[in-house]
Structure 1
Amino acid sequence: MSIIISTENSRLDIDFIHQFLTNSYWAKGRTKEEVRTSIEHCFNFGVYLDEQQIGFARVLTDYTVFGYLMDVFIAENHRGKGYSKKLMKTILEHPELQKIHRWMLATADAHGLYKQFGFDAPQDPNLIMARIDK
């Protein structure tokens, strides 16, 4: 079995991505149209095992200064095999993302994964503001 990580949007399985996201804690209830729109406006990474999609991540970015890592997941039945680490390595080493010097993400449960790639709580949280409309 071989893992492939691709940035080709044409390979993405929107139904698979939507099914996972709409049931996740961070995107509960997200519609398929919202998933499709979010993909259209991001740099996307599909994870495939023997041509079947098993994971996904997207980066909201200007390709120069800022990258916000979002919707990162590996299907539950494929976890624990190092695929999320390979996905993170692929994203952070992608040639089109090398100018980015400010990366951000939000997580409730994957701190251990992201810390391996240099992510941590902001040194000065007073510099970061957020507006979250529900």
Structure 2
Amino acid sequence: MTTLHISTNKADLDVPLIYQFLSEQSTWAIGMPRAVLERAIEHSLCFGAYVDGRQVGFARVVTDRATFANLVDVFVLPEVRGRGYGKQLVEAVLAHADLQNLRRFTLATGDAHGLYAQFGFTPPLRPASLMERYFPNIYSN
């Protein structure tokens, strides 16, 4: 069985691979400019998932590391899906020392509710209290 290595060292990230996946294959960041991704990585806690030194997955957490975190940009490359790497990546995110005892940990997903439910994520208890400004096509101009 191949071992997955997960690191928060930003120097290890394959930024071209992350950019290619998010800007061309994701359902949420099509057309994202490279400079936007680079700024997002710079200001986030990032997790790279690697097999034999090759990056196969990514997750990013926007957080104050005290009270709140938002999990975003989670992906595993299509050619290695189905091997449990997504679960291992989410486990590593949730186990990170800087993400313990937070009052709120959020995420948005269109199709992975089952994965995140395994880790205690639920629909908002008080959805009426949540608001957002959402621009789904911001990168397609």
What TM-score, normalized to structure 2?
0.92
Structure 1 position 101, deviation (Å): 2.5
The aligned residue for residue 33 of structure 2 is 31
- 1:110 aligns with one of 109, 112, 119: 112
RMSD between aligned residues: 0.9
Per-residue deviation at 1:59? 0.3
Q: What CA distance in whole angstroms lies between the structure 1 residues aligned with 2:102 and 2:50?
A: 26
Q: Deviations over 1:72-124 (max 9, x none)?
A: 00000010000010011111011121131201111101111001011111111
Q: Which amino acid in the other structure matches residue 38 of structure 1?
A: A
Cross-structure match for 2:3: 2
- Unaligned 5+ residue runs, structure 2? none
Identity over aligned pairs, percent = 46
Partners of 1:75 and 1:7 lie apart in 2 by 18
Match of 2:123 in 1: 121
Structure-to-structure mapping, 1:1-134, within 5 angstroms: 1-23=2-24, 24-133=26-135, 134=138
- Deviating beyond 4 angstroms after TM superposition, the runs of 4 or more aligned structure 1 residues are none
Q: Report the TM-score, using the length of structure 1 for normalisation.
A: 0.97
Q: List gaps (5 residues or longer) in structure 1.
A: none
